[in-house]
């Protein structure tokens, strides 16, 4: 019994999936999906006019029930005899070719006076998993115009005409041209969790295309294979993570905190490698084909822990002003960021921990004096280090990365080399770009654009796709950020809101710093462009983060009046 409960909980909390279509393909897919989630909605087309469905459509003027019946059979939870009864097809008399399931729907259509209600009532009788909704109640016909000019109306007639005439279809349309969709079908699509997934996939596919262009000069397809595999794995992980209840996960907060520390400490073992980055920021395991960046993984678990701390301070302690409260969350952040920087030397990801902390703490409502103190102390420390020349010789390169921002002629062949080449590459793209796979610098050999498939992928986009392509890539990332914030804005509790804010700020700062680096207005600190840059572990962890957001959206059941503050869990 105890082994059954977790799978039952996962099934009940599974992702909201909306499947749109008709025919046997949709019902076959539904049979498989219902094993993993109960939150299924099938939106079924109603243009069929052949077989038993066509007979009922012509005789009593009801929408064709065949495809809808197939979907209900696939999702039904009834005795085997009932399934046999529904699929039984008469072979003699005036009912020859008609199925018993279609007749039940026809009878319910007459009793209820509404085909939509008839489908709903039959769904209850069959105790189906999820919902089945006809896409429209209108009398829809499919029309095809063939290349020989023939106009044929009716799905079954189109098939037979094409087979007999061996002529290609030039145009397909619906009659009437714009049938009204049922409100329930539109609402089901709006509630699906796939908007965020679609945006992430679009950005990743865009990135794979640009990685192919950036690595085409050396005929290396391995990076494309790795990135594509990471995308596919990320999609699976996205659905899997969305089933995890953060409330259950955070009960293991001690294990999560221990994991963060131990995972970073693995960089001190033989598994820790520099991977040509200059920092020991990667883990290379012999049983994995790719390296893993611990910071990518720990950032997600750090966000979850910090969100829980902030909710505890706000809801339980009701203290976001005292020194002890600031020390509680600040010490956690500085501990993780400091440990990671000391061990890896990676300033970029260490800075990300601090930036995420600032945004999440601000949204939680920490007293502004603590932010003023933080920025003031940071400025004083940095200013003192520079004024008294306290930077060790081994770390001078970090200081030079900032100096070169104010004097582009300083150390052009050294610390300014990447950004100088990046700016030159982007400048050559103009408004429309030089064309995909035709960038002068992007397609040149070794030495033209360093790290063009990782840190400087935005430069490749700017050169080959111009201002238009660069803007599109930014808009995709901004759409992802906004979507995550919208989910956080509607979340049922502050804990979920803070997680969404942390994930959104992670993507936002990484985007701003990477693009600023390519435009020579930010220092080179090794941060890649989310979803676009090459990196298998980065893609998978980003989809993991988005899976948590999807799970939060699925569990949000309250609604708020406009203007309520972030994290409010009041119900109206």
Give 440-452 pLDDT, tens digit per residue.
999 987 778 888 8
d(CA 511, CA 478): 9
pLDDT confidence bin for 163, thresholds 50/70/90: confident
* pLDDT above 90: residue 257: yes
User: What pLDDT is attached to residue 98?
Assistant: 82
Residue 65 phi, psi dihedral angles, 5° rounding = -90, -10
Percentage of the chain exceeding pLDDT 70: 89
Burial annotation 297-321 (CB, 10 A radius, 16+ → b, else e): bbbbbbbbbbbbbbbbbbeeeeebe
Q: What is the pLDDT of residue 505?
A: 97
Indicate if the pLDDT at residue 259 is higher than 90.
Answer: yes
> Region 417-427: what's the mean pLDDT?
88
Of residues 81 and 205, more confidence is placed in 205
Q: Does residue 518 sit in helix, strand or coil? A: helix
Q: Is the pLDDT of residue 524 over 90?
A: no
What is the pLDDT averaged over residues 55-63?
82
pLDDT at position 5:
37
Give the residue with greater pLDDT, 389 vs 378. 378
Neighbours of 65 (CB within 10 A): 30
Question: What is the spatial distance between Cα 72 and Cα 27, in angstroms, rounded to a whole number?
Answer: 8
Reported as a pLDDT band with limits 50, 70 and 90, residue 155 is confident
136-140, 251-255, 305-309, 500-504: which range is least confident on average? 136-140
Q: Decide if pLDDT at 191 tops 70.
A: no
The more confident residue out of 419 and 500 is 500
List own/partner pairs for 381-387 with CB under 8 A and 24 or more apart. Answer: none
Q: Are 531 and 185 in contact (CB under 8 A)?
A: no
Question: Which string of DSSP letters, residue by residue, matches 366-410?
Answer: --HHHHHHHHHHHHHHHHHHHHTT---GGGHHHHHHHHHHH-TTT
Q: How far is CA 282 from CA 120, 220, 279, 524, in A?
A: 54, 22, 8, 18
Mean pLDDT, residues 57-86 taken together = 82
Mean pLDDT taken over the chain: 84
pLDDT in the model for residue 390: 59
pLDDT of residue 138: 80
More confident residue, 9 or 563: 9
Residue 70's pLDDT band, with cuts at 50, 70 and 90, is confident
- Over 90: is that where the pLDDT of 202 sits? yes
Examine the pLDDT at 369 and tell me if it is beyond 90: no
| Interval 15-56: pLDDT, tens | 677 788 777 778 888 888 787 777 788 888 887 877 777 788
**Predicted confidence band at 560 (pLDDT cuts at 50, 70, 90)?**
very low
* Separation CA 176–CA 97 (nearest Å): 28
pLDDT value at residue 571? 31
Q: pLDDT at residue 291 above 80?
A: yes
pLDDT digits (tens, 9 = 90+) for 89-142: 888 877 777 888 888 888 888 888 888 888 888 888 888 888 888 888 888 888
Cβ contact 218:230 at 8 Å? no
What pLDDT is stored for residue 404 in this prediction?
80
Is the confidence at residue 175, as pLDDT, over 70?
Answer: yes
Burial class (CB in 10 A: 0-12, 13-18, 19+), 535: buried
pTM: predicted TM-score of the whole model, two decimal places: 0.70
């Amino acid at each position: 019994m105890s082994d059954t409960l977790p799978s039952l909980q996962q099934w009940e909390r599974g992702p909201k999936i909306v499947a749109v279509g008709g025919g046997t393909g949709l019902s076959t897919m539904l049979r498989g999906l219902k094993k993993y989630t109960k939150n299924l909605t099938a939106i079924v087309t109603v243009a069929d006019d052949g077989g038993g469905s066509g007979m009922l459509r012509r005789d009593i003027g009801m929408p064709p029930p065949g495809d809808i019946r197939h979907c209900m059979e696939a999702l039904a939870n009834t005795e085997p005899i009932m399934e046999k009864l529904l699929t039984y097809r008469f072979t003699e008399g005036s009912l020859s070719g008609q199925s018993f399931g279609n007749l039940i729907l026809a009878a319910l259509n007459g009793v209820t006076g509404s085909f939509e209600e008839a489908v709903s009532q039959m769904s209850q009788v069959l105790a189906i998993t999820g919902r089945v909704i006809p896409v429209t109640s209108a009398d829809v016909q499919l029309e095809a115009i063939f290349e020989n000019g023939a106009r044929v109306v009716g799905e079954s007639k189109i098939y037979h005409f094409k087979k007999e005439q061996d002529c290609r279809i030039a145009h397909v349309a619906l009659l009437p041209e714009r049938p009204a969709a049922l409100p329930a079908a539109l609402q089901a699509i709006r509630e699906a969790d796939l908007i965020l997934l679609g945006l992430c996939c679009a950005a990743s596919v865009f990135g794979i295309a640009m990685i192919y262009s950036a690595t085409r000069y050396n005929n290396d397809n391995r990076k494309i294979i790795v990135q594509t595999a990471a995308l596919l794995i990320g999609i699976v992980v996205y659905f899997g993570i969305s089933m995890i209840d953060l409330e259950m996960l955070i009960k293991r907060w001690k294990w999560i905190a221990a994991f963060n520390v131990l995972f970073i400490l693995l960089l001190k073992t033989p598994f820790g490698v520099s991977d040509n980055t200059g920092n020991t920021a990667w883990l290379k395991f012999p049983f994995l084909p790719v390296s893993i960046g611990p910071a990518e993984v720990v950032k997600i678990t750090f966000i979850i822990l910090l969100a829980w701390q902030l909710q505890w301070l706000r809801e339980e302690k009701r203290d976001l002003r005292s020194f002890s409260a600031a020390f509680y969350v600040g010490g956690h952040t500085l501990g993780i960021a400091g440990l990671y920087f000391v061990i890896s030397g990676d300033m970029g990801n260490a800075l990300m921990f601090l930036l995420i902390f600032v945004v999440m703490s601000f949204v939680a409502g920490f007293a502004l004096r603590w932010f003023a103190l933080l920025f003031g102390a940071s400025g004083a420390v940095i200013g003192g280090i520079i004024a008294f020349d306290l930077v060790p010789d081994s770390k001078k390169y970090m200081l030079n990365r900032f100096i070169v921002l104010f004097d582009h002629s300083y150390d052009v062949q050294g610390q300014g080399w990447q950004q100088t080449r990046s700016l030159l590459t982007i400048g050559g793209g103009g408004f429309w770009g030089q064309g995909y796979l035709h960038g002068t610098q992007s397609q040149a050999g070794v030495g033209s654009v360093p790290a063009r498939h990782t840190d400087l992928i935005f430069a490749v986009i700017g050169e080959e796709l111009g201002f238009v392509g660069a803007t599109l890539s930014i808009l995709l990332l901004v759409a992802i950020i906004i979507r995550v914030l919208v989910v956080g804005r509607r979340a049922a509790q502050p804990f979920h809101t803070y997680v969404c804010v942390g994930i959104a700020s992670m993507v936002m700062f990484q985007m701003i710093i990477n693009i600023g680096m390519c435009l020579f207005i930010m220092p080179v600190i090794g941060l890649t462009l989310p979803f676009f840059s090459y990196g298998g572990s980065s893609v998978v962890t980003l989809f993991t983060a988005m899976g948590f957001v999807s799970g939060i959206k699925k569990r949000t059941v309250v609604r708020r009046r406009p203007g309520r503050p972030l994290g409010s869990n009041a119900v109206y």
